Amino acid sequence: MLKDPRRFSRLIAAFSLIAGPLLVLAGMVATPWESEPGTAGYHDALAGDPGQSEVAAMLLHFGFLLMLGAALALMHLARLSVPRLAHIGGLLAVFGLATLPGLLVTDFYDLALAEALPREESVKIADAATDGWAPMVMVLTGAFPVIIGLVLLAVAAWRAGAATGPAALLMGAGWLLPMASSTGGLVLTAIGSTMMVIGYGWVGVTVARMSDQAWVDRAFSRTTRAKAPKIAVESAV
């Protein structure tokens, strides 16, 4: 496998498309969600089950890292048919996914504060650490590019023929659904993550079943299929 770059890249892409969303779903479900919005509720939830909080952060960390591979896989499949959409979506997704895993370090920081200090003090320090424009920029450049970029890649994959309409809808809606809740509750987040597992997994299984040459040639590409008759005619002439 390692000697054949086509097979290696195809299997890595399939693995990322399937395993990435699964780890994100596991991380979201494992997260001890706060019963009330705000830093105090967040710290209470973390301190209520420290072990679960750590496991959730690790699952999300590796899930987001694998989603980077999933984004690159979608961009590979779509970039010949819809290059602008695929590259813009890919750039945003890679930019955000390269940032997002690192932000999970704050979970361990907040957990330590929540366990070591009275709630009033832990909240005061945590809020002070995120106060100002610089922390806000880091958070915004991690979250929003991921959502926008992966939604654009889902559309690009559909337009290129790399994903069916239902798969693309599940991939895109899975990221957008949790935003319908102002508190980002467990139910909507779990439903959205499950939709992503199905949507990305749908494409991932298809990629896993492709031949190595079909992966290189982007056999899904509508552009490739559309040009085939013309090539055949020219060859016959």
How confident is the model over 211-222, as pLDDT tens digits? 988 898 876 654
Instruction: Specify whether the CB–CB gap between 14 and 84 falls below 8 A.
Output: no
CA distance 40 to 206: 45
* CA nearest neighbour of 93 among 165, 172, 211, 14: 172
How confident is the model over 14-51, as pLDDT tens digits? 999 999 999 999 999 998 888 777 889 889 999 988 99
CA distance 231 to 176: 41
pTM of the model: 0.85
Residues in the chain predicted with pLDDT less than 50, given as ranges, are 222-237
Instruction: Specify whether the CB–CB gap between 43 and 122 falls below 8 A.
Output: yes
How would you label 71-107 residue by residue, b for 16+ Cβ within 10 Å and e otherwise? bbbbbbbbbbbbeebbbbbbebbbbbbbbbbebbebb
